[in-house]
Structure 1
Amino acid sequence: MAAKDTARDVGRRAAGHPWFHRLSRAGLAARGVLYLLIGWLALLIASGHGGKEADKQGALRAIADRPGGWAVLCLLAAGFAGLALWQFAEALYGRPLPQGRRKRMRFPAAFRGLTYTVGCVGTIGFLFGLGHTSSDQQSRAMSARAMAEPGGRWAVLAVGAGFVVWGAVTLVNAGRRAFRDELATDEMGPVAHWIVQPLGMVGNIARGLIGGAVGAFLAYAAISFEPDRAQGLDGVLREFAATPAGGWGLAVIALGVVTFGLYSFCEVRWRKVEAVEPQDDGPPGA
Structure 2
Amino acid sequence: MYANALLNAFTIIAFFLLVNQPGKHIYAQENVNETGTSIPSNQNLPNTEASVASMQVQWIQLSLQFVIGGLVAGFALYFANRLLDHYRRPILRIAKDKSPVLRAFHSEVYSVSSPLLGAIPSIKTKYLVEYVANRIIVRNDGRNAAENCKAVLRIDGNEEKVAWISPTSGHTMTINANSVEYVDLCAILKGDQAQIVNDIRTEVSKLPTSGTNSYTKQTEVYEDSIKARTEVKKHYQSPDALPRVIAPTEDGWQQPPHRNRILAPTKAQIVITAKNAEPCVVDIEILAQPVDGRAIKFI
After TM superposition, the score normalised by the length of structure 2 is: 0.23
Structure number with bigger Rg:
2
After TM superposition, the score normalised by the length of structure 1 is: 0.24
**Larger helix fraction of residues:** 1
**Larger strand fraction of residues:** 2
Q: Which has the higher contact order (CA 8 A, sep 6+)?
A: 1
